[in-house]
Amino acid sequence: MAILTPGELAPDFELPDQDGKMVRLSEFRGRRVVVYFYPKDNTPGCTREACAFGAAHPHFESLGIPVLGISKDSQASHRRFADKHSLPFTLLSDPELTAIQAFGVWQEKKLYGKVSMGVVRSTFLIGSDGKVEQVWPKAKPDTNAQEILDYLQKME
């Protein structure tokens, strides 16, 4: 399945956060929300990306835009990851790949010539109408959060 594109309705999902609280994407209707997908907790790139979102959190908060990070890691793994790096935003656990597949980010990946299926690091800005406003496919861990803030500033 191809990655979602701007203008498409974002598929609703309900996933547990790092504290076991169920979170539905549709709860955010009426405001924008950042949904970013990443491969794995506590790996170098994913840690840099999460920490960059953590550092940018006050900016997102001032704009009234929540950030949701999604991977297939367990709630317990997310809790440890959030605690270890003082992450101030929500991490959602998707071990069944419900949202990951619905957003089209479960794709074939090549690493050192080995082909496997995995999460392609991607970020979506969901508009207040529930449609995909912007997509950052193959997002770079170090610049992703700032790219989104730059986009939001241009749109103001």
Q: Residue 110 has which token pair?
A: 């090549």
User: Is 51 known to be catalytic?
Assistant: no
What residues contact residue 58 under an 8 Å CB cut-off, 6+ apart?
A: none
Q: Residue 122 has which token pair?
A: 């991607």
Tell me which of 3, 34, 35, 46 is the catalytic residue: 46
| CA dist 76 → 73, 82, 85, 126 (Å) | 8, 10, 14, 27
* Inter-residue contact 128 to 29 (CB < 8 Å): yes
Nearest to 18 by CA among 78, 66, 95: 78
Q: Mind telling me the catalytic residues? A: 46
